[in-house]
Amino acid sequence: MNPEQFDQELKKHNFELTQEQKEQFKIYFTKLVTANEHVNLTRITEEEDVYLKHFFDSLTPLFTFKKVFVEGATLCDVGAGAGFPSIPLKILMPGLKVTIVDSLAKRLTFLKDLIAKLNLSDVNLVHGRAEDVGQNKLYREKFDLVTARAVANMTVLSEYCLPLVKKDGYFVALKGPKAEDELENSKKALQVLGGKLIDEEELTLPDTNEERTLVLVKKVKLTPKKYPRQAGTPRRKPIK
């Protein structure tokens, strides 16, 4: 998917990129590939692949669950790495108030530089493990939306993300193909953490066989204070 095809695909979803937004994605691609020579950010570096598998892929929740992406919403992206999905979402919806959580300082250094180059406002970078951030009063149950892409399985991911979602807010997970087993195994965790599965949509990226699953979870009750547990525990002892 080259930049022109990217532009055309977005139009199909009723998003017409401004010249500034086109330029922002172009800068994003250049900065990503350049920084990737020094910091391990992505294995995907060809322009057509970055536009499809990073940029377009990051925007699929906006097309699929459009009703939860309201202008001015607060969004926390857990384990964003090189900024996916939050930075493409922010470019397309400049009114989003974004907080990015990542445990690796080098990635946050890249993002800080990128945010300045893209001239984005209302983007806050937080250095820390999701488990620690989820217990921090500054962030706990403060966000309308929490996103995560390719971070962990649904059970572990729910413990990372749901404590950050405010009651009646949403957790959006961007998963790979065939996520049914993951979702089945995460039922107990969702219930314990105050979440309710609202929607699960399977899709294929344009003109490919690349399958994705998008998961929408609503926070229906507050998360018990003991969650998230100490850093590392959710992976070692997932909620069953």
Which residues make up each annotated binding site for S-adenosyl-L-methionine? 79, 84, 130-131, 149
**3-state SS of the chain?**
CCHHHHHHHHHHCCCCCCHHHHHHHHHHHHHHHHHHCCCCCCCCCCHHHHHHHHHHHHHHHHHHCHHHCCCCCEEEEECCCCCCCHHHHHHHCCCCEEEEEECCHHHHHHHHHHHHHHCCCCEEEEECCHHHHCCCCCCCCCEEEEEEECCCCHHHHHHHHHHHEEEEEEEEEEECCCCHHHHHHCHHHHHHHCEEEEEEEEEECCCCCCEEEEEEEEECCCCCCCCCCCCCHHHHCCCC
Binding site: which residues? 79, 84, 130-131, 149
